[in-house]
Structure formats: C-alpha cells, structure tokens
Amino acid sequence: MAKNYTKQQIQFMNAVGLLLDPETGCYFGRRGEYSMLLRIVSNQYVLSVSVAKDGMAPNPADLQVAAQECRGIQSCNVQGYRVNFFISGGLTQKKVLESLSQASNYLPYFLQQTGYHNVCESTGEVGLTECYTVSGQPLMLSERAFVALAEHAATSAEVADQKEENLVAGAVGALLGSLAGVAAIVIFSQLGFISVASGLIMGVCTLKLYEKFAGKMTIRGAIICLAIMILMVYFGDRLDWSIVLVREADYGLIEGFRSVPYFVKYDYIEKGTYYYNLFMEYLFTALGAVPQIIASLKEKKIAGLSRKMTGLTTQ
C-alpha cells in the first residue's frame, strides 16, 4: 500500500472534500450532516448519500430536481435509502473535478432545504453515520447496524468456506457453460466476423456455471475452467470451419469436422487465416475469463471481512 496519496488523488479529495480509502478506491467522509461515498461505476463517478424524509425512503422525483439545478449532476437513482448521483463527465480531468466540486458543495444544501436527513442505509435510522465496508461493499451505516451486518457477513463467509467444492459437478457446469461460447463463436463467425462477445460469453458462462454447480470457486476450479475453455474454443473454431466445408464443399458435418486439419495442412484453408481466427478467439476468451476469475477469487478473499473506512496521511 502506498504511504501517501498521489497528486491526482489529492486533487480529487480537495474537489469533493472527502478522503480516499486506498484499499477500496472509494472516497468517503461527511459534508455537513451527510455521509458521502464517491465511487467509479462503469467508468462514471457516482456520489452517494443515504437519506430519508419524514421516516420515508427518498422520493425519486424530489431528487431529480438536483440534476436539473446542478450542472455537475447528470442524473440520479434511488436504491432504498441510498441515492446515487451520477456526475457529469468531461473531456478533461479539470472538467470532472469541476463537476465533482459543484455536486459535493450543492448536495448538502439541497438535501437540507428539501427536508432530507442523513440516515443509516440499512435501517433508516436518523443520525450521523460512518462509512464502512462489509464484504468489500461500501456502506453508510450506524455503528449498531455495522456490527450486525459484519457478524452476519462473517457467519455467511464461514459457512460458504466450509462448503465442499464439488469438482465433478463444477466441471459439468463449466462444460455446459462453454457450449454457449461455442454457439457464439459459430454464430458470429458465420455472420462474417470475429466478435469479442463470443469470447466474453465463453469466459463468463463457463466460470459462472462452474461456480453454480460446484458450490464455490477456487484456484482448482479456475484451472478446470481454463482447461475446458482451451478445448472448447478449439472445438468451436473447428466446428465453424466444418460448417464452411458443408456449405462450400458439400461435406457432411462430421466428415467436414474430421477434415479440417487436412484442409489446413495442405493450404485449402489458408493457414494464416485459420490460425489468426483461432488466436483471436483465444484472446477474446481470455479477456472474458481472466477478469471474471480475478473477481471471483477476490470476492472469496474479502467475504466476511468488514471494517471502518480509513484514509492515509497527506503529508
């Protein structure tokens, strides 16, 4: 972990008046009576608060006014007591910082004027809250709610960890998931192009169904999934070429499948095109699989871990 914030991180903290929790990459703190969280979601900055009015969860229509009045706010949505304000983007960092500053300065005033009070996003209890992470999820909670959620998360993680991984069932699930990837490879290729979507479908479906059937994902499971994907990408690409032979050379599907290596060896199928297509399918599958594997293993690692958010020194 870095000992100090970077210059860019300090600029963002100054813009929103919040600290950066280096472990989650989430900016957190309090503006006036309101706890705030700033995160990047799908490459967009989202500034969140947890509020209620007269004991009721926020009315989306009330909060949409903020997007109309403040240029720094693009839109918002409501999830329970949490309100997520999507910050207006810009072509430069300077524009983003301006939008963040406008939004973070405007929101406390707007919420106070419209009668919204800071609440625990878990219980709706009015009062000052702190920013915590529960199993990696950033939340604005009262201390009492945090203790309850942390205990529940720890218990759930312990139960999940004790659950035995069914490797055979997981392999079956991974194989079934990989068939979706095979279908995508064939369909996109028959339409005349190699699509990153086919690799993403192969990677995501294989891993998700493995985890569903096996009960959990471990390094052993990831290795099994990778082995299956390597085989099935090759199978899908070869099946695609066999369909070409069925269409162009009047072969049967099984005969065409068996003949693909022969056509490649004697350059009836151009080697450069064949191996380029295969390489791209493997590349796209890796792009879909590797982030999913990392996310699954990281989720397992932080499951049950809960803490209060902390910042580093700026000195």
Which DSSP symbol is given to 38? E
Helix and strand totals (H; E) in the chain: 9, 10
User: What's the pTM?
Assistant: 0.72
Say whether pLDDT at 54 is over 80.
Answer: yes
Least confident of 121-135, 173-187, 278-292: 278-292
Q: What is the pLDDT of residue 91?
A: 67
Question: What is the tens place of the pLDDT at every residue in 243-262?
Answer: 988 888 888 889 989 999 99
**Positive or negative CA dihedral for 117, 122, 124, 125?**
negative
Q: Which phi and psi (to 5°) does residue 154 adopt?
A: -65, -40
Locate all alpha helices (DSSP H) within 58-118, ordered by sequence. 60-69, 93-113
Q: What's the CATH code, domain 7-157?
A: 3.30.1460
Say whether pLDDT at 128 is over 90.
Answer: yes
Domains of the chain, residue spans = 7-157, 167-302
Model confidence at 1, pLDDT cuts 50, 70, 90, reads very low
Instruction: Indicate the helix (H) or strand (E) that contains 82.
Output: strand 82-87
Which DSSP symbol is given to 191? T
Nearest Cα residue to 79 out of 61, 46, 57, 94: 57
